Amino acid sequence: MARKRTGFRSLRQIAKLRATVRKPEDIDRIAEKAGLSSLLLNPHLAGPMDFTDLGLGRGVYMPVMISDRSGGRPSMFDLGPGETATIGALVSDEGITLRKVTRDKASAKPIAVGSTYTETWTTLEGKRRVSFKMRVTSLDRKVGTLVAEGAGTFPSHLRIPIIFRCYFFSCCITVTVLV
């Protein structure tokens, strides 16, 4: 029995968009108009990630580049209170899942030890797959590292408490699941 994958555009949706393109320069404008924003993904910093236990599958995680250009994102150090940034994408056998981070509105700027934020992994359509609160436990602006820990809500098939410890290296992530 085939599994239903989420996070992939249907061929019908892609064909409909393709039919409106007349020249290469149209692609980004038409995609943006349809709510399909482009991301500056950096495949050179991509790495394998296994989130099967969270229902996200096993695949390749690619960070969004820190850039002022369209499709880029701000540094985690510069994300202001209440701001959200898409910081990466997991391309797996379960589909494409976007990783988004929102700084807590009560957090002081600049980011500091004790600052909190919510991390959410969503499908391309915006359906929430995983969400959890994180608290910054250490950071080093010179090196570009930030360590955060947290816990949250996961797919209902999980019956064990899970705590995350994330290490952000400029725009890479290593996640250790602690049970």
Q: What is the DSSP string of 3-65?
A: PPP-S---HHHHHHHHHH--STTHHHHHHHHTT-----B-GGG-EEEEEGGGTSEEEEEEEBP
Local confidence band at 179 (pLDDT 50, 70, 90 cut-offs)? very low
pLDDT at 130: 81
83-106 pLDDT, tens digit per residue, is: 999 988 989 888 889 999 898 877
pLDDT for the residue 86: 92
Q: Which pLDDT value is given to residue 84?
A: 92
Kindly list the distances between the CA atom of residue 25 and the CA atoms of 17, 35, 40, in Å, as whole numbers in the listed order.
Answer: 14, 17, 17
Residues in Cβ contact with 82 at an 8 Å cutoff, skipping those fewer than 6 apart: 102, 103, 104, 105
pLDDT tens for 124-143 read 888 888 888 888 888 887 77
Q: How high is the pLDDT of residue 160?
A: 44
